[in-house]
């Protein structure tokens, strides 16, 4: 396989240690045999690594013994491990393929650490690449995932390499025949209950009948798409600096108006970068549909709206703000008794200072302060979140006004309204919406002591 030699020359440093994942099937056995053929030329240390997932009892154990014996014949180390995946599945709600992959890759990390290996080589080939790309397209993957498997990518303390992505399954089987290799075949690969097998057994034969070299076209697509995607991602990162207003561990806020000025391809990638930042691991249920739904929400004329994303992430549009948050409901609703004197730290990151003063009319006025005669105080005072139907009798006005309308008039972002503090007395009267409006209950110009409150940012 000429392309294998070119790949090694381009991507591997001489004198390195390479862990080769070996299942015993034709793909991984071919890969291991190819590495053995260049071992001396590149001064490589080769280590075989095999995992028995224990799905097929004696048959899978025999495959493990076959791999260990193969490595012994060629005088290379072999690390093999049996992992009871069926038992693990009984304790955890996860697919068998996801569980197998998780444990297999954790084992590979252990082997790389043991041998101080630079590379983990895997036997994925061109037909696998076709299946992967098509599966991800159908599932609605976005960004780099659309390019399928990378030939080289960072992994643990080194790299995963896939030298056979330009080879077809047929070429691999021919290699096994020419070199007298006798690989083992997993019968589960023919079962159509697995999604990948359905693509392999139905879609792939059709594509190959149209073009026997279709795997080369898909690999070309993968490489060029990835190049384009990486360029657009870097361009998006540059533009992100003008769009983001706030970036925290579990929240990101951006300027919707500036965001919508970006070209549409950068908008999509901007959202993807935010999701990659917030999610430690992107949920499998997250797809391009979520991104398109958000683009539709942000481009609509309506000033507000929200979307629920997987794993508790909420995206909230409000006027020129868009908030991505995992913390939306953590403090809701709230009700905090207000002691006199005291300082109350509020869920929205602000605080209210409360004390008793003489002649508050000498102090600054404005909606950030509120004063009330001690004689007219109806205890207890409470700081709470808003409730449906809240109304306030505004200072200097006849009648009442809905608190909801005050938020709208002041263009308070939707995600801030539910945690905005409201001061209520013991009779249920709303005395003050801190920072926004005062009620007619405020007093500042008569004799006696006053309760004086000040709203401030921390």
326-346 pLDDT, tens per residue?
876 655 678 888 888 888 877
Q: What is the pLDDT of residue 176?
A: 96
Q: What is the pLDDT of residue 282?
A: 83
CATH architecture, domain 2-223:
3-Layer(aba) Sandwich (3.40)
Q: What is the dihedral of CA 175, 178, 181, 186, to 10 degrees?
A: 50
pLDDT at 360 over 70: no
Whether residue 237 is predicted with pLDDT greater than 80 in this model: the reply is: yes
126 assigned binding-site residue: no
Residue ranges, comma separated, of all CATH 3.30.465.60 domains in the chain are 248-325
Span 248-325 CATH architecture:
2-Layer Sandwich (3.30)
> Is 413 known to sit in a ligand binding site?
no
> Could you give the dihedral angle defined by the CA atoms of residues 407, 409, 412 and 416, in that order, rounded to the nearest 10 degrees?
10
**Which pLDDT belongs to residue 85?**
85
Cβ neighbours for 296, distance < 8 A, ≥ 6 positions apart: none
pLDDT band at 318 (very low <50, low <70, confident <90, very high): confident
* pLDDT at residue number 281: 81
> Residue range 160-186: average pLDDT?
95
State the pLDDT at residue 430. Answer: 95
Average pLDDT over residues 78-105: 85
Mean pLDDT within 358-370: 72
Distance CA 136, CA 231 (A): 21
Between 191 and 274, the more confident residue is 274
When pLDDT is cut at 50, 70 and 90, the band that residue 363 belongs to is: low
**Which comes out higher in pLDDT, residue 190 or 117?**
117
Listed in order, strand segments (DSSP E) in 10-111 are: 17-21, 45-52, 78-82
**For the chain, where do the domains classified as CATH 3.50.40.10 start and end?**
335-457
- 27 annotated among ligand-binding-site residues: yes
The single-letter DSSP state of residue 439 is B
pTM: 0.70
Q: How confident is the model at residue 436, as a pLDDT? A: 93
Q: Is 3.50.40.10 the CATH number for 335-457?
A: yes
100 in a labelled binding site = no
pLDDT confidence of residue 340: 86
Measure the CA–CA gap between 345 and 441, rounded to whole angstroms: 24
**Residue 255: per-residue pLDDT:** 95
For residue 123, give the nearest of 81, 190, 54, 67 by alpha carbon.
Answer: 67
Phi, psi of 118 (to 5 degrees): -90, -25
Residue 361 pLDDT > 70: no
Q: Where in the chain is the domain with CATH 3.40.50.620?
A: 2-223
pLDDT tens-place string over residues 385-427? 999 999 999 987 888 999 999 999 998 887 788 889 999 999 9
Mean pLDDT of the chain: 89
> In the predicted model, is pLDDT for residue 356 greater than 90?
no
pLDDT of residue 139: 85
Is 26 annotated as belonging to a binding site? yes
Is position 25 annotated in a ligand binding site?
A: yes
């Amino acid at each position: 396989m000429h392309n294998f030699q070119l790949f090694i020359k381009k991507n591997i440093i001489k004198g390195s240690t390479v862990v080769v994942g070996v299942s015993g099937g034709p793909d991984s056995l071919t890969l291991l045999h190819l590495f053995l053929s260049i071992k001396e030329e590149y001064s490589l240390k080769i280590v075989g690594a095999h995992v028995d997932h224990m799905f097929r009892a004696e048959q899978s154990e025999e495959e493990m013994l076959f791999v260990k014996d193969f490595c012994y014949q060629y005088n290379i180390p072999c690390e093999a491990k049996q992992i009871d995946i069926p038992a693990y599945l009984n304790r955890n709600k996860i697919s068998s393929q996801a569980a197998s992959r998780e444990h297999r890759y954790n084992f590979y990390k252990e082997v790389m650490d043991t041998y101080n290996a630079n590379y983990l080589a895997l036997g994925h080939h061109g037909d696998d690449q076709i299946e992967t790309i098509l599966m991800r397209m159908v599932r609605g993957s976005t960004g780099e995932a659309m390019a399928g498997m990378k030939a080289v990518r960072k992994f643990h303390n080194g790299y995963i390499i896939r030298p056979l992505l330009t080879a077809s399954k047929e070429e691999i089987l021919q290699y096994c025949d020419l070199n007298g290799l006798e690989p083992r075949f997993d019968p589960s690969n023919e079962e159509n209950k697995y999604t990948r097998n359905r693509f392999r057994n139905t879609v792939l034969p059709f594509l190959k009948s149209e073009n026997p070299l279709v795997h080369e076209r898909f690999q070309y697509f993968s490489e060029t798409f990835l190049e384009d995607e990486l360029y657009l991602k870097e361009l998006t990162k540059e533009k992100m600096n003008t769009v983001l207003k706030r970036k925290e561990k579990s929240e990101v806020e951006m300027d919707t108006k500036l965001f919508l000025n970006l070209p549409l391809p950068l908008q999509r990638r901007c959202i993807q970068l935010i999701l990659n930042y917030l999610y430690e691991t992107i949920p499998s249920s997250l797809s391009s549909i979520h991104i398109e739904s958000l683009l539709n929400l942000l481009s609509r004329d309506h000033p507000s709206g929200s979307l629920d994303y997987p794993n508790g992430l909420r995206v909230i549009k409000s006027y020129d703000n868009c908030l991505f948050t995992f913390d939306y409901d953590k403090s809701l609703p709230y009700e905090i008794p207000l002691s006199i004197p005291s300082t109350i730290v509020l869920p929205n990151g602000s605080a209210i200072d409360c004390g008793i003063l003489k002649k508050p009319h000498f102090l600054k006025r404005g909606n950030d302060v509120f004063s009330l005669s001690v004689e007219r105080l109806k205890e207890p005072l409470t700081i709470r979140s808003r409730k449906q139907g809240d109304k306030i009798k505004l200072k200097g006005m006849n009648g009442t006004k809905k608190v909801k309308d005050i938020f709208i008039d002041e263009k308070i972002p939707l995600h801030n309204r539910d945690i905005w503090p409201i001061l209520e007395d013991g009779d249920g009267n709303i005395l003050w919406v801190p920072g926004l409006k005062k009620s007619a209950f405020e007093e500042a110009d008569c004799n006696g002591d006053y309760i004086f409150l000040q709203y401030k940012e921390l």
